[in-house]
Structure 1
Amino acid sequence: MIRSCLLAFTLLLLLPSPASLAEEDKPEPMAVDEVLALGPLPIAADLMEKAGHADGLRRALVGQLGEGELPRPGRSVSAFGRDSEWRSVSPAALASERTLQLLWFQLEAERFVRGHLTVEGLRNAVVYVDGKKVDGGAEGHALDLRNGSHEVWVVHEGAAEDGEPALAWQGRSDIDRVGAHTRPQRRVSAQRLTNAETVGDLAISPDGRYLALAYERRDEPADADIRRLEIRDLQTDRIVRQWTADRPAALAWSPDGSKLAVQTGDSLWLHDRETGQARALLLEHEGIGAWRWHPDSDSILFGWTRKDETETDKRRRLRALEDRWAGFRDLSQLYQVDVASGIVRALTAEERSVSLHDVVDGRALLSQYVVDYSEPPHSMTRVFELDLEDGEQRDIARLRSFNAIRYADDGYWLLAGPALSIGDGDVTPEGVIPNDYDTQLYHLSVDGTEAISFSRDFDPAFSGIERLADGNLLLSAVSGEESVLVYFDRDAERLRVVDSGLSVVESFVASRTSPPTVVARGTDADAPQRVHRVGLDGDNEVLVDTRESAYADVVLGEVRDWSFTNAEGVEIDGRYYLPPDFDAEGDYPLIVYYYGGTVPVNRQFTGRYPFNLWAAHGYVIYVVQPRGAIGYGQDFSARHVNAWGDYAADDIIEGTRQFVAAHDFVSEERIGNIGASYGGFMTMYLATKTDLFAASISHAGISALTSYWGEGWWGYGYSGVASRGSFPWNNRELYVEHSPVYNADKVTTPMLLLHGEADTNVPVGESDNMFTALKLLGREVEMVEFPGQDHWILDREQRYVWWDSILAWYDRWLKDEPEWWQNLYPES
C-alpha cells in the first residue's frame, strides 16, 4: 500500500553523468501542466496593497491553508460568507477576475537539484516554497531543492490580460530535473520533524479526572513558535480550558486538584481549575525550579539557585575537577512557599547544592553531590532526610552509585547501579566488572546500611521511579530498543512490564487513586508522538495522535525488526528502515547506525538522528545494538566495561555483513556508517579495523581516550564506569591502542567529522586530532564545526545544516552525486 501511494514519486528519467554536460547546456523547461486552484477569494487585492500589510496577509493565508492536510480537489474553504473549493485545473485556465487567488502543487526531487521556477501570465504572483517566500529574478524564482517533496504555493490576483498563465521548472543542467504533481502525499521533511506539534509536558489531577497538556509547534511561514496549555476532562473527553503561554518549565496539580501550578520562565503561576483565574505565586524569582507540591499542606517546595558571581576575568583557580562544569559554583537550596499568603521560607543552607526527591508526613528526602575521587566513579552522593518543621537533618547514606530515591513503608526505594557496595545487585560472573549504568531497584534499609535488589534477574534497566498512592511503584526503564513502563507490586515483590502501546515512553504521570490513572506520551519507530491513557492491565486509549494532526498525508517507509546471532552465539538486536517507495528488486545504498556505548538506540520516531528522513532520501537504514548496552541483562552490558570498542566493533562489522548477505536489495559496495559521541568514537575505531564502509561519519567522536578522560567535563566520571579501575598509567594498552588517532594510518575510508564548537562533553579537539592525522596522511577527510553548539546541535537552523551535511556526504560517496555537498561547501 505504501508503495502504491508513492509510485508516482519516481518521475525522473535516467540521467547522463553531470561530467558530460557543459554548464551552459540547460535542459528544456518542464511545464507544470496541472495545479490545484482556490478562488477567486472575497479579498480585494488592490485594497490589501493600499492598506499596507499585503506581505503579511499573503504569508498568513499560506500558513492558515497550509496547516494540516494538503489541498485536494473538492475540499471547501469558507471565508466571509463565501465558499470556495480547490479544483484541479491547467494554469492556462486560471480565472482572470482581479481578486486574491491561490494555486498549489508539489515539486518532487529525487536528488539535490538547482533551477528556477518561472511564473508567467499572473498578476502580482508571490511564490512560497515549503512555507518560505521566494523572491523572483530575471530567470525566475531560484530554487535549491533537497531530495524530497516540496510544496509550492502561488498567491496571485488572477490571469493577466496579456499572455496566458504558465508555470515551468528550468533546471540549471540536465541532472536538475524534478516532477510536478498535485497528489495529496508527501515524504517526510526535516522541517516536519522539528516543527510538528507535540506534547512537551503532562500533569494529571490527583483524582485522575483532569489532564493538563503543554503543546508546542513551529509555524514556518510566520517564523513563530506557538505554545498552548490545555486542560482536558478525561471523564467527558472535553477540553475545559485552553490558553496560549510560554513553554512551561514544569506543571503539577495541587493535592486537592483545585489548582494547576505552572512555571514559565522565572515565575510560578497558579491556575484555578473552576474559575480559570490565574495568579502569580512567585513572580520573577530568578533561578527557581525543581519544585513539587507538599502532599499534606497547601504549600510548594522548590529549589532556588543563586548564581556564582566570583570574578574570573583575570584568573580562576579550579577548586575541583567539577569546577570546570558550568554552574558548579552556583548554590541551590530548598525553600517553601505558602500558597495562601505567598510567604517564602528557606529550609536548607548547605555549603553544596541540594536536590529534592520525595516528601511525606512532613519529611523530605534530599541528596547532595560530594566531591570524592578516591574510588570509581570518582564522586559520591550524600542522601539525607529533612524534618520540614524543625529543620533537623538525618544522614541516611553516602553512595558511589545513585540515580533516584523514594520513601517506602519501611526504608526507601533506591535506584542505583549493580556495583552499589552495600547492595546485592551484581549478578555478573566472578572477575567481570558490571556496567554501573545498568540501574537496579533496591530496597534501602532505614539506617542506610543494606540494599536488597528486586531486579537482579530483570533485564530492563531503570531510569525513573514514582511511588503510587497504594505504596506500589511505577518505573520507567530501558528494555532493549524500547523505553517501557514497569509496575512493581510490593506485596508480591514482582516486576512486570506494562503494555503502554508505545515503544518509547517519553514521560508518564499517575493519579493518586487506587488503581491509578496513568497517562504516558511517546512514539514508535514508524509513528510520531501519541499520548495514551494506560491501563495497568494493558487496556489503552489514545488521547492525542500527532499522526493525524501533524503528519497528515506524510507517507513513511516500513520499519522491520532484524536480529542476528554473532560468532559467540549472542543474539544481537536491531531493525531497519525502508524508503517510502521501496522496491524489493532495487539496489539501495545502506547506512549503518549504532551507538556502541552504554545505552541502546531506541525506537524513537525522531530525534537527533532522523532515520525516517534518511530513508525518505532513498537509503536503507540498519540500526544495530552491539554488546555493551543496558536493557539486555547485566552480562550483555558488562561487555562495555574496559572494552572501548572490542565487542561493539565485532558486532557492527559482523551484523553489517550478515545484513547485506540477507537482503538482496542493498548494495555491498555502497555502505555508509555513522555514530555520535561514543558512537563517533566507534566510527573512528571501525575505520582502523575494516574497509567495509564506503563513507563514514563521526559526530562528536573520541579519538584519544586519554585526552577525553582528562579534558571532557565528564570524561573522568564516564571513564570511572566505562574504564573502571583503568587509567593512563596502569593500562596503557587500553588508552593508547584503543585510541583511533594512534592507528590513523590504517584508515582508508572517506571520513566526515562533525562537531559542536562549544562541546564540553567531548571537546572539539577530539575531532581536531583525527582531522590533523588524516590530513597529514593524505586521506579523504572533511571536518565541519557548528559555532556555539555543544554536544548536541540544538539551534534549529544549524540542525538543518547538520542534517543536510550528513545526507550530502552520503549522496557524494554512496550515490555518486557530489553536487549537494559542493553546494553546501564550495571549494572557492
Structure 2
Amino acid sequence: MRTLLLGTLLLILSPLVLAEEADTEVEAQVIADLLALEGIPLPTERLDDSDKRDEIERAIYRQLAEGPRPTEGASSEWFGQSIDWRAAAPADAQADTLGVWMLPIRTERFVQGSLEVTGLERFSAYLAGDKLAASDGKLELALPAGTHDLWLIHTGPAEDAEPSLSFQGKTEADRLTIQPGAPAWVTPERLTNAETVNAMVISPDGEQLALRFSGRSDIADLDIARLEIRRTDDNEIVRRWTDNVPSSIAWSPDSRTLAVQQGNNLWLYPNEGAPRLLLANQERLGGWQWHPDGDSLIFSWTEEAEAANEQRRRVRSLEDRWAGFRNQAQLFQVDVASGLIRPLTQGEMGVNLLDVSPSGDRLLIQERIIDYAAPPHSLWRLSELDMASLETREIGQFRMLGGALFADEGYWLLSGPGLPGADGATTGEDLTPNEYDTQLYRLSADGEARSVSRDFDPSINEAHRLPDGRLLISATHGEGGMLAVFDPRRSRFEEVETGVEVLEQFVASEGSRVKVAVRGSDANRPQRVHLIDLDRGQREVVLDTRDTEYRGVELGPVEPWRFVNRDGIEIDGRYYLPPDFDPGETYPLIVYYYGGTMPVGRAFTGRYPFNLWAARGYVIYVLQPHGTIGYGQDFSAAHVNAWGRITADDIIEGAEKFIAEHDFVTEDAVGNIGASYGGFMTMYLATRTDMFTASISHAGISTLTSYWGEGWWGYGYSGIASRDSFPWNNPELYVEQSPIYSADRITTPLLLLTGDSDTNVPPGESDTMFTALKLLGRDVELIEFPGEDHWILDREKRYVWWDTIIAWFDKHLKQEPEWWEYLYSETE
C-alpha cells in the first residue's frame, strides 16, 4: 500500500499500480486523522429527543465556523468549561458525548465523490454555510480546487461500532487531502460575506467617527448590518445600532447633535438629552446635510412618476429608457426648532445639490438638460441658488460635469480635459482627449475656466473643500488611488500617505486641526480604515479586516511587472501567484485587462476576484494597456476612436513578453478574460490572434453600431470613445472594429457570459457572436444569468458565475473538463 504523511494525517490511498488500470474500481481513501472537539456539555439524550435539534446544531456550527479557525490545542468555551481541539482518529470518538469534527480539506483540482460516515450514532454535516443531506451515511461532495472546511456534529459511536470516514472518488484523480493546522485559502463565501465598512461619517470637530458595516452569515441566512460611532482619540465605541440601522447620519456644525435617518423617519440625537423625532413617515427622503448655521437641514425629496398608460409607453428621450428617470428629486429645507419644511427648488427636471457655501447663503445645484447637439450627448446646467430670495443664477452649461464647489472667488469645477474655452487638454492636435480623464478647473463667477491640473497625470475623482480653502483630492493614479492636498495659493498638489493602495472613501473634519478617515485595500490585503492627522502626517489604524475577517487565511504574493512596448512606452501591470506557489512548477496563466477606460485597480476584491483565481491554481497577469486614465492625457487619448487597435497591441505584446520572462507559465495554457469594454476586447483579440488557449467575454460588445443604439448608455459612452464618429460618417470604424464582422477568424474556444437583463451592454451583443460562431462550427458557449443586469449582484448567482469562469479555464487550460461537465451537463 502507498501512504502519504501530511502533518498529523495519515491517508491510505489506492495502490499506484491499480490506479493505472482503466477497468479497476477506484479504491476509497481512508481518512485517519482530523480535528476533534469532544465533551461539549450538552446531554446527548436530550438533544436526540429535542425538536430543536437542527437549530441547536446549526447554532453550534455558526459559533465555531464564524470564529477563529480551529487548530490543535486551541480552546473553546462552553458554559464555563474550556475544551481543547485535538488531532484525533475517527475511531477515538467519545461515547455519549456531543462532539464536533472539523476536516480542513485541500483539493488540487475539482473533486467529486462521496464521503461515507459509519459507526456514529447520529451526525449532521455542514459545508460552506449549508447543511449537507446524507443518504445511507454518504455525503455527496463536489469541491473545486482550494481549501474547504467540512464540519461534522455527532453524538458519539453507535453501539458496538467503530466510527470511520472514507472518501470514494469518482475517478483516481478525485482525491482529498486533510491538513490540520494548515492555513485556509480565500473562498467565494469569505469574499462576499466578510463584514466590511461601506460608509463613513466624521464629526466636524473630528472627535467621533461613524462606521457602517455590512456582511452576511450564510449559516444563519442573515444579512448583517450595524452602525457604530467611535471616539477618534482612543477608538472606543460610544454608540451602536444593530437593529433598524440608520441609512444615513449627519452631525451638526458644532458636533453636538446627530441627525439620524431610520427608515422614513428623521431623528435628532443631541449629545445630552433625549432623542427627538423631527420628521415622521416621509417616504423617499435622502441626501441630508446640515446648513452651516446649525438651525436647519437641507435634503432631497423624490417624487415617483406614475405610469400614464399601462398599455403603452412613449419614450420621450434617450434618457427616458433609464429606470427612474421620470422621478423628480427637488431640494427642501427643514427647520430644526419647528419642524417646518420649505421647498428650495422646483422644476421639470430633478436637482442635485453639489455644495453649500461656507456662510450658508448660497447653494450650488446641478440640473440635466436634454440636449444631443454635441458629444457626449448630455448637458448639465450649473446654477447658484440664493437662500434668501430662492432665485437661481445660471453659471454655465457643461457636457461633462463631475462636481463643483464654492471657491474664495468663483468656483472649483471637475470636468473633462476638452472643456470648451478652457486650457485643460495637453494632447497634441493629432489626439482627441479622453473626457473621462477628469481635470480640476478654477471657474470665475462669469464662467471662465482655467485648468489647475494640466501637469497632474492622475485623473481626479472627488474634491472636498477644507476650512482654510485648500482642497482634498482623491484621484485615480495608475493601478492605485491617491489622496492629495491642493494648495490654491501655490497651485501645488501634495500627496497624502493613506496606507492603502486603493481608496474607497475619505471623509474630513472641519476644525483647524483636520482629521481624515480613509477606507481602502491593497491587491493582497483586505480592507482597512485609517485615521490621518492631515497636517502632522500621523496615521493610526482604526480597523483592519485582516485581523477580523481573514484570520488564518493565506494569500498568494502579488508582484509588479511592467514592460516597454514596441513604441518605447512603459506599460504598467502586476501578477498574482497561488498561495502555495512553487517556482519550480508550471501554472496556467489568465490575462485580464480593463473594461471601460478605468484601470484595473489594486483593490483586494471585486467582481473579478484575482486572489480567488490564484487560490484555484492560476497565475493572473493584469496589465494596464493604452487607453486607460491615470497615466496622463496622451496615454488615455489612445482610447478615443480606436476601439481596440492600440489596446490589443499592448495586450498581445504584454502577454507574449510575460510568458517569455516567466518560466512558471507556459504558452499553451493561457486564457484571457474581460468585461464590458473588456468583453469587447476579448472578442476583438480573438479576431487578431490565436495565442490564447481559451477566452471569456462577459457583457462584451460584438457590434459597435447595435451597442451604440441599443445600450441605454451606449450613445453617451460612444460619444467619448467614438467622439464625432457615427455609423453614417465613419462606417469603417463601426465595421472594421466590430468583432462580428471578423467572426470567421476566431478559432479560440470562447465563453460568452451575460445577464439577460443587461441594459448597458444588451445580451443581444453576446447572442450575435454566439449565432455567428455556432454557424461557423466553432467552440463557443453562452451562459445567461436570469434577472441580472450589467453586474451579477445576486449572491448565489455570483457564486455560479465565478465557478463558471474557472470551470471553463480548468477545462481548456488544465485539461480538466469535469467541473464544467458537472455544472453544464449535455442533458441540462
**TM-score, normalised relative to structure 2:** 0.96
Aligned AA (2:503) = V
Identity of aligned residues (%): 55
Choose the corresponding residue for 1:230, options 212, 224, 228.
Answer: 228
Aligned AA (1:384) = S
Using the TM superposition, give the Cα deviation of residue 50 of structure 1 relative to its aligned residue in structure 2, in angstroms: 3.8
Choose the corresponding residue for 1:469, options 467, 470, 487.
Answer: 467
Report what 1:168 is aligned to: 166
Report what 1:516 is aligned to: 514
Choose the corresponding residue for 1:119, options 110, 114, 117.
Answer: 117
Aligned AA (1:336) = Q
CA contact (8 A) 1:359 1:365 kept: yes
Report what 1:190 is aligned to: 188
Report what 2:371 is aligned to: 372
Q: Deviations over 1:494-515 (max 9, x none)?
A: 1122110100000011000123
Matches within 5 A, 1:93-104: 93-96=92-95, 98-104=96-102
Task: Tell me, yes or no, if structure 1 residue 331 matches structure 2 residue 317.
Answer: no
Aligned AA (1:388) = M
Using the TM superposition, give the Cα deviation of residue 74 of structure 1 relative to its aligned residue in structure 2, in angstroms: 2.1
After TM superposition, which residue ranges in structure 1, 4 or more long, deviate above 6 angstroms? 6-22
Task: Tell me, yes or no, if structure 1 residue 736 matches structure 2 residue 735.
Answer: yes
Q: Which stretch shifts more, 252-261 or 106-115?
A: 252-261
In 1: Cα distance, 2:276 partner to 2:114 partner: 54
Using the TM superposition, give the Cα deviation of residue 100 of structure 1 relative to its aligned residue in structure 2, in angstroms: 2.2
Task: Tell me, yes or no, if structure 1 residue 53 matches structure 2 residue 68.
Answer: no
Report what 1:344 is aligned to: 341
Gaps of 5+ in 1: 1-5
CA contact (8 A) 1:296 1:362 kept: no
Choose the corresponding residue for 2:355, options 355, 358, 363.
Answer: 358
Report what 2:654 is aligned to: 655
In 1: Cα distance, 2:634 partner to 2:12 partner: 51
Aligned AA (2:757) = A
Q: Cα 1:249–1:11, aligned 2, differ >3 Å: closer, same or farther? A: farther
In 1: Cα distance, 2:816 partner to 2:355 partner: 57
Aligned AA (2:366) = S
Aligned AA (1:157) = T
Q: Which stretch shifts more, 572-581 or 344-353?
A: 344-353
Task: Tell me, yes or no, if structure 1 residue 256 matches structure 2 residue 254.
Answer: yes
Using the TM superposition, give the Cα deviation of residue 195 of structure 1 relative to its aligned residue in structure 2, in angstroms: 0.5
In 2: Cα distance, 1:705 partner to 1:14 partner: 56
CA contact (8 A) 1:68 1:551 kept: no
Aligned AA (2:603) = Q
In 1: Cα distance, 2:148 partner to 2:746 partner: 39
Using the TM superposition, give the Cα deviation of residue 18 of structure 1 relative to its aligned residue in structure 2, in angstroms: 14
Using the TM superposition, give the Cα deviation of residue 793 of structure 1 relative to its aligned residue in structure 2, in angstroms: 0.3
Q: Which stretch shifts more, 335-344 or 515-524?
A: 335-344
Q: Secondary structure at the match of 1:573?
A: strand
Q: Which stretch shifts more, 309-318 or 406-415?
A: 309-318
In 2: Cα distance, 1:225 partner to 1:10 partner: 40
In 2: Cα distance, 1:601 partner to 1:633 partner: 16
Aligned AA (2:184) = R
Count of equivalent residues = 819
In 1: Cα distance, 2:562 partner to 2:8 partner: 33
Report what 1:812 is aligned to: 811
CA contact (8 A) 1:26 1:171 kept: no
Aligned AA (1:821) = W
Report what 1:3 is aligned to: none
CA contact (8 A) 1:39 1:84 kept: yes
Matches within 5 A, 1:467-506: 467-506=465-504
Using the TM superposition, give the Cα deviation of residue 19 of structure 1 relative to its aligned residue in structure 2, in angstroms: 13
CA contact (8 A) 1:596 1:627 kept: no
Using the TM superposition, give the Cα deviation of residue 9 of structure 1 relative to its aligned residue in structure 2, in angstroms: 12
Aligned AA (1:740) = P
Q: Cα 1:262–1:31, aligned 2, differ >3 Å: closer, same or farther? A: farther
Report what 1:395 is aligned to: 394
CA contact (8 A) 1:25 1:174 kept: no
Q: Secondary structure at the match of 1:39?
A: strand
Using the TM superposition, give the Cα deviation of residue 305 of structure 1 relative to its aligned residue in structure 2, in angstroms: 1.0
Report what 2:798 is aligned to: 799
Report what 1:560 is aligned to: 559
Using the TM superposition, give the Cα deviation of residue 15 of structure 1 relative to its aligned residue in structure 2, in angstroms: 12
Using the TM superposition, give the Cα deviation of residue 259 of structure 1 relative to its aligned residue in structure 2, in angstroms: 2.9
In 1: Cα distance, 2:556 partner to 2:145 partner: 15
Report what 2:505 is aligned to: 507
Using the TM superposition, give the Cα deviation of residue 247 of structure 1 relative to its aligned residue in structure 2, in angstroms: 5.8
Q: Cα 1:538–1:117, aligned 2, differ >3 Å: closer, same or farther? A: farther
Using the TM superposition, give the Cα deviation of residue 243 of structure 1 relative to its aligned residue in structure 2, in angstroms: 2.4
Using the TM superposition, give the Cα deviation of residue 17 of structure 1 relative to its aligned residue in structure 2, in angstroms: 14
Task: Tell me, yes or no, if structure 1 residue 301 matches structure 2 residue 298.
Answer: yes
Aligned AA (2:731) = R
Q: Cα 1:520–1:827, aligned 2, differ >3 Å: closer, same or farther? A: same
Aligned AA (1:800) = Y
Task: Tell me, yes or no, if structure 1 residue 623 matches structure 2 residue 617.
Answer: no
Report what 1:458 is aligned to: 456
Q: Deviations over 1:632-674 (max 9, x none)?
A: 0001011110000011000000000010011011011100000
**TM-score, normalised relative to structure 1:** 0.96
In 1: Cα distance, 2:126 partner to 2:275 partner: 40
CA contact (8 A) 2:303 2:328 kept: yes
In 1: Cα distance, 2:197 partner to 2:108 partner: 33
Q: Deviations over 1:127-154 (max 9, x none)?
A: 1112321111026011111111111111
Aligned AA (2:457) = D
Q: Which stretch shifts more, 230-239 or 560-569?
A: 230-239
Matches within 5 A, 1:581-620: 581-595=580-594, 597-620=596-619
Aligned AA (1:558) = P
Report what 1:786 is aligned to: 785
Matches within 5 A, 1:55-94: 55-94=54-93
Task: Tell me, yes or no, if structure 1 residue 149 matches structure 2 residue 154.
Answer: no
Report what 2:29 is aligned to: 30
Q: Secondary structure at the match of 1:613?
A: helix
Report what 2:3 is aligned to: none
Aligned AA (2:110) = F
Q: Deviations over 1:155-174 (max 9, x none)?
A: 11122222111122221222
In 1: Cα distance, 2:811 partner to 2:666 partner: 16
Q: Which stretch shifts more, 284-293 or 560-569?
A: 284-293
Task: Tell me, yes or no, if structure 1 residue 209 matches structure 2 residue 207.
Answer: yes
Q: Cα 1:788–1:613, aligned 2, differ >3 Å: closer, same or farther? A: same
In 1: Cα distance, 2:411 partner to 2:125 partner: 63
Q: Cα 1:100–1:689, aligned 2, differ >3 Å: closer, same or farther? A: same
Using the TM superposition, give the Cα deviation of residue 184 of structure 1 relative to its aligned residue in structure 2, in angstroms: 4.2
In 1: Cα distance, 2:532 partner to 2:215 partner: 25
Q: Deviations over 1:739-795 (max 9, x none)?
A: 000110000000000001110000010001100000011000000000000000000
Q: Deviations over 1:51-109 (max 9, x none)?
A: 4221111111111122232111222222222221112222211211x232212121111
Aligned AA (2:345) = T
Using the TM superposition, give the Cα deviation of residue 21 of structure 1 relative to its aligned residue in structure 2, in angstroms: 7.9
Report what 2:686 is aligned to: 687
CA contact (8 A) 1:202 1:251 kept: no
In 2: Cα distance, 1:62 partner to 1:251 partner: 36
In 2: Cα distance, 1:12 partner to 1:784 partner: 40
Report what 2:760 is aligned to: 761
Gaps of 5+ in 2: 1-5
Q: Cα 1:452–1:321, aligned 2, differ >3 Å: closer, same or farther? A: same
In 2: Cα distance, 1:57 partner to 1:72 partner: 23
Using the TM superposition, give the Cα deviation of residue 579 of structure 1 relative to its aligned residue in structure 2, in angstroms: 0.5
Q: Cα 1:280–1:194, aligned 2, differ >3 Å: closer, same or farther? A: farther
CA contact (8 A) 1:206 1:257 kept: yes
Q: Deviations over 1:105-137 (max 9, x none)?
A: 211111111111222222221111123211110
Using the TM superposition, give the Cα deviation of residue 721 of structure 1 relative to its aligned residue in structure 2, in angstroms: 0.7
Q: Deviations over 1:722-751 (max 9, x none)?
A: 111100000011001000001100000000
Choose the corresponding residue for 1:158, options 156, 159, 172.
Answer: 156
Using the TM superposition, give the Cα deviation of residue 218 of structure 1 relative to its aligned residue in structure 2, in angstroms: 0.9
Aligned AA (2:414) = L
Q: Cα 1:321–1:587, aligned 2, differ >3 Å: closer, same or farther? A: same
Q: Cα 1:690–1:266, aligned 2, differ >3 Å: closer, same or farther? A: farther
CA contact (8 A) 1:596 1:645 kept: no
Report what 1:528 is aligned to: 526
Using the TM superposition, give the Cα deviation of residue 283 of structure 1 relative to its aligned residue in structure 2, in angstroms: 3.4
Using the TM superposition, give the Cα deviation of residue 296 of structure 1 relative to its aligned residue in structure 2, in angstroms: 1.7
Choose the corresponding residue for 2:315, options 315, 318, 322.
Answer: 318
